[in-house]
Structure 1
Amino acid sequence: MRCFGFKGKVVLALAGVALCASSAIADNINVNGANRSMLVYAPSGIEKNRPLIIQMHGMNQDAPYQQNAAKWESIADTARFVVVFPNGENKAWDISGDKDINFLKAIINNMYEKYGIDKKRVYVSGFSMGGMMSYHAANKMGDMIAAIAPVSGGGSPNSPKRAMPIMHTHGTTDDVVNYNNTVNTVKSWVSAQKCSSSSQKIKPYPATRSGSAASLEIWSGCNDGVEVRLMTIEGKGHWYSMDLASVNTSDEIWNFVKNYSLDGVTPSAPAVVVPTNRDSIFNGGFDSSAVAWDLQLHGDAKAMGAAKDGKYQLDISAVGTQNYQVQLIQHDLHLEKDQWYEISFDASAGAARTLEVNVEQHTDPWDSYLGEKQNFEIGTESKTYSFKFQMTAATDTNSRLSFNAGAATGTLTLDNVKISKTEAEPPSKLANVRLEKAGVENYAVFSMNGVYLGRITADKAGLYEATKNLVKRPGMFLVKSEVGLTFRLNVK
């Protein structure tokens, strides 16, 4: 997912302009005479008294970069909270003075005025220098922050105003902020907050994922009943980890901080549990959010997407040169070798358009598992579309379904997305029919599964070559003439 920001100064009139697929908006506030900018993501129709997470970028990075790295939107949609990605001045943070402490305080007040956030459930997180700023905030404004969750950045305790719940995440091969030094920093907070000297260790973490590179160490019994946690990711360098073979850092942060409030009450908030290695679509009905779906933009494409009224609504304002440059995907799908599957979905558009659908690898080189990518002609009325395919490659436990909508601008609505195992496609009952017409005619070409592949114009002598040029692969295809003649054509 790529976000689009504005160059130069962000003006207040642009506060409602969507910057990226997740519909985050640019905003700014005046702090001690300085104009400070940020991106704000608030779920549609957000209720009052919901939590706030402030997440800060690393040095020489910015708010759109951090938003793209952490992908908080689907979590916020499900658990109903506001996320702010502030911009540090000159892409850095004041981790020793009050300049950015005042900025964080202003953000909290601004979000209270606009969304009525619960000031007792404000959580601060950040990557690298943003993680260092999280520790600085814990020292300077702990009476306004319920918990912190730094990633790859440390900071020692310095007369904090209250015991601080801490969830720290770090990779062992970090060559920017040394892992071992940070472990010592975390333990200094354990000591300062009088936590139990013995800790609980879970390796691998989660325990149910045997191949996970992550481990979790927990110190409990701290002042005021808080915990300090260290999430270690073996072999991970200096970046915000979203490795689903191990842990989703943003999920882990939320599932920790949501347990804390300034008044000590544990708020009830639904955990985000998206099963991996699954053979069905998760949240295919978009009933409450777009959780488990990821809208990715590539090249110069621009689009916004969100779950609204139980459907996924996509608004594309600029396209690139390839269909995949606007791409709604769901991965973690388990496809078994030699098994047949059926994909079905409901779709409509603001104007007639083509929608490309693919089933493919979720990692480079993203090879397709279909004989050909499926193309559907979508109209303005919602209809159900489907196709069948056989998984001929090796079993893949992290494949993905992709809706590639980069062919045209405008709106597209999706719903009731499903994948299910099915029986092998039966042989066609259509007999080979000899062509009777020798003149030039229009023909529609379909796969043997009945998927429309395109239209050709040819006479009898040129029909084979025209079909071969259209399908660009060997196999058996159905060809239908305008006068109703249907036959099978074997392309070699």
Structure 2
Amino acid sequence: MFGRRFSSAKAVFAFAGIAAALFAAPAIADNLNVNGANRSMLVYAPSGIEKNRPLIIQMHGMNQDAPYQKNAAKWESIADTARFVVVFPNGENKAWDISGEKDLNFIKAIINEMYNKYGIDKNRVYVSGFSMGGMMSYHVANKMGDQIAAIAPVSGGGSPSSPKRAMPIMHTHGTTDDVVNYNSTVNTLKSWVNAQKCSSNSQKIKPYPSTKSGSAASLEIWSGCNDGVEVRLLTIEGKGHWYSMDEAVSVNTSVEIWNFVKNYSLDGSSITPPPPAIVVPTNRDSIFNGGFDSSAVAWDLQLHGDASAVGEAKGGKYQLDISAIGTQNYQVQLIQHDLHLEKGQWYEISFDASAGAARTLEVNVEQHTDPWESYLSEKQNFEIGTSAKTFSFKFQMTAATDTNSRLSFNAGAATGTLTLDNVVLKKVDAPADTGNPAGIVCNLRLSAERDAAYAVFDLRGHRLGMVEISDATEAETLKRAGFAEGIYLLRGLNGKKSILVPVSR
């Protein structure tokens, strides 16, 4: 029977900090020809994905695209653990045809393509989307109900229009959405409740989950619908027009979606309950999964230009095999973002590394968004040999606090293999100023250049941070930056001169 809800549905897709014995894989760009038009998408399939696993198609909002939705929804760790394929399609002109056949044909082509490539279970295809992508989800429910097991729109609605069958629906919406009105969309959702002859008496859970006191989320459930489906409304108080991933105050929308849709299959068959998910915390001040114990979760291999490489967690280490380099080191990058760096704080980064042949490895700490500005006075370069060694460096965060910075291993300088392990980021105390050792040599000048950046060192050569000389003297600039009384070496960047500056209070 269509839409039957099987008994294992009551199992909760729990969070856990343990790693599943799976290897992460990057999302792959793919193209399809649909009715003579070239259509593009991003496909995330866990490494070694088995046949007959579910498929989730998640659509972006208007004026957004597939990479944006992929980054917002963070499906990878859930898909790795529960073993399913996720597709992020691109709408033409960053929009969706929410009334015609054009994008319905695209969805059908995606299902067939994923069946041909990965052998997905066509009885467990689920559709979700944000904003206009949510509206497209309702259009799919109306026109493709015999091919879609459940839908999960976020912040976008649509009325029932002669759907082919009763449709399980999980709708998520924030109460302060100023783009797609919350109250209006809830009224539209209730028209599905009525059309599917659900019970008029709903179950309300507030806060949701009930075990999280103070959660901004609440859940309303209409059961007793045709074909045994449910309609659910997940409300997030005070949330605007955003895809909610704030577990601290509400819920992880993607996990809630999976917990719901996994209960449904077109043929009513049961799906094997997945092991606990790996949930990567955001806004963290340490490296997550720096030991690569059994997966590469939280790490993202990015390739740019003509560079080519593959990487995986294997044997408790990350192994990177570079077959073609680009013109810049960053064109082969292994990164971890969502790092919280506090202004003024000192940090130490350490890692183990070895290579198939001697090579240089560049390491950077930088913004995760354009213009990707570095937080180091200069990028760190390490000479990596064929035997594993531990490398480390310290730096001070002199820029404004960044809650989504990233650590980047830039390996685009040479082909061959590179192995990384035991990556650690930790807070440390500022280096002590213990005097002037012999052997410091610099080309001293009488004054610094205006509007220029300088790295600050103590007289033992320890780098203490950075300053920009603009509208004040060098000493006054150092005072403003919080440096104590003493003598400092200002070393110019990009070949600029160096000077000694005494600071008194």
Task: Verify same fold: TM over 0.5.
Answer: yes
Contact 1:284 1:418 in 2 (8 A): yes
User: Does 1:123 pair with 2:126?
Assistant: yes
Amino acid at match of 1:284: G
Residue equivalent to 2:460: 477
Distance across 2 between alignment mates of 1:375 and 1:413: 17
User: Does 1:219 pair with 2:221?
Assistant: yes
The C-alpha deviation readout for 1:221-270, integer Å capped at 9, x for no partner, is 33344433333344544344455655443343233323332315243123
The alignment of Structure 1 onto Structure 2 pairs a total of residues equal to 430
Deviation at 1:326, TM superposition (A): 4.8
Higher relative contact order (CA closer than 8 Å, sequence separation 6+): 2
Residue equivalent to 1:160: 163
SS in 1 for 2:456: coil
* TM score, norm. by length of structure 1: 0.68
SS in 1 for 2:139: helix
Deviation at 1:26, TM superposition (A): 1.5
Larger mean CA deviation between 270-279 and 335-344 belongs to 335-344
Distance across 1 between alignment mates of 2:59 and 2:156: 11
Deviation at 1:124, TM superposition (A): 0.7
Matching of residues 66-465 of structure 1 within 5 Å: 66-193=69-196, 194-195=198-199, 197-203=201-207, 208=212, 214-223=216-225, 224-243=227-246, 246=249, 247-262=251-266, 263-270=268-275, 271-275=277-281, 281-294=287-300, 306-309=311-314, 310-311=317-318, 313=320, 318=326, 326=333, 328-331=335-338, 343-346=350-353, 348=355, 352-358=359-365, 375-379=380-384, 381=386, 383-387=388-392, 389=394, 402-405=407-410, 408=413, 413-419=418-424, 462=442
Distance across 2 between alignment mates of 1:235 and 1:304: 44
Contact 1:284 1:415 in 2 (8 A): no
Deviation at 1:328, TM superposition (A): 0.7
Deviation at 1:29, TM superposition (A): 4.1
Contact 2:28 2:42 in 1 (8 A): yes
Deviation at 1:72, TM superposition (A): 3.2
Contact 1:57 1:65 in 2 (8 A): yes
Deviation at 1:285, TM superposition (A): 3.3
Distance across 1 between alignment mates of 2:395 and 2:419: 24
Note the residue ranges of structure 1 that are not aligned, 5 or more in a row.
1-20, 436-444, 446-459, 480-488
Distance across 1 between alignment mates of 2:129 and 2:351: 40
Distance across 2 between alignment mates of 1:354 and 1:68: 27
Distance across 2 between alignment mates of 1:138 and 1:129: 14
The C-alpha deviation readout for 1:22-65, integer Å capped at 9, x for no partner, is 3413231445x655443333233221111111122334444444
Contact 1:477 1:490 in 2 (8 A): no
Amino acid at match of 1:147: A
The C-alpha deviation readout for 1:278-313, integer Å capped at 9, x for no partner, is 675332233444322345789x89776653535253
Amino acid at match of 1:136: H
SS in 2 for 1:229: strand
Contact 1:297 1:325 in 2 (8 A): yes
Residue equivalent to 1:14: none
Distance across 1 between alignment mates of 2:65 and 2:397: 43
Residue equivalent to 1:44: 47
Deviation at 1:122, TM superposition (A): 1.0
SS in 2 for 1:185: helix
The C-alpha deviation readout for 1:344-394, integer Å capped at 9, x for no partner, is 343547772232243x78899999888x5672414353623343659899x
Larger mean CA deviation between 37-46 and 118-127 belongs to 37-46
SS in 2 for 1:473: strand
Distance 1:382 1:54, change over 3 A: farther
Deviation at 1:398, TM superposition (A): 5.3
SS in 2 for 1:254: helix
Distance across 2 between alignment mates of 1:202 and 1:391: 44
Deviation at 1:77, TM superposition (A): 3.1
Distance 1:305 1:216, change over 3 A: farther
Contact 1:171 1:237 in 2 (8 A): yes
Residue equivalent to 2:493: none
The RMSD of aligned alpha carbons is 4.8
Distance 1:147 1:186, change over 3 A: same
Distance 1:87 1:205, change over 3 A: same
Distance across 1 between alignment mates of 2:406 and 2:63: 35
The C-alpha deviation readout for 1:464-487, integer Å capped at 9, x for no partner, is 78xx999821224369xxxxxxxx
Aligned residues with identical type, % of pairs: 54
Amino acid at match of 1:252: E
Distance across 1 between alignment mates of 2:361 and 2:237: 44
The C-alpha deviation readout for 1:76-99, integer Å capped at 9, x for no partner, is 334322222334445443333444
Contact 1:77 1:290 in 2 (8 A): no
Amino acid at match of 2:31: D
* TM score, norm. by length of structure 2: 0.67
SS in 2 for 1:174: coil
Larger mean CA deviation between 182-191 and 220-229 belongs to 220-229
Larger mean CA deviation between 145-154 and 402-411 belongs to 402-411
SS in 2 for 1:477: coil
Distance 1:189 1:333, change over 3 A: same
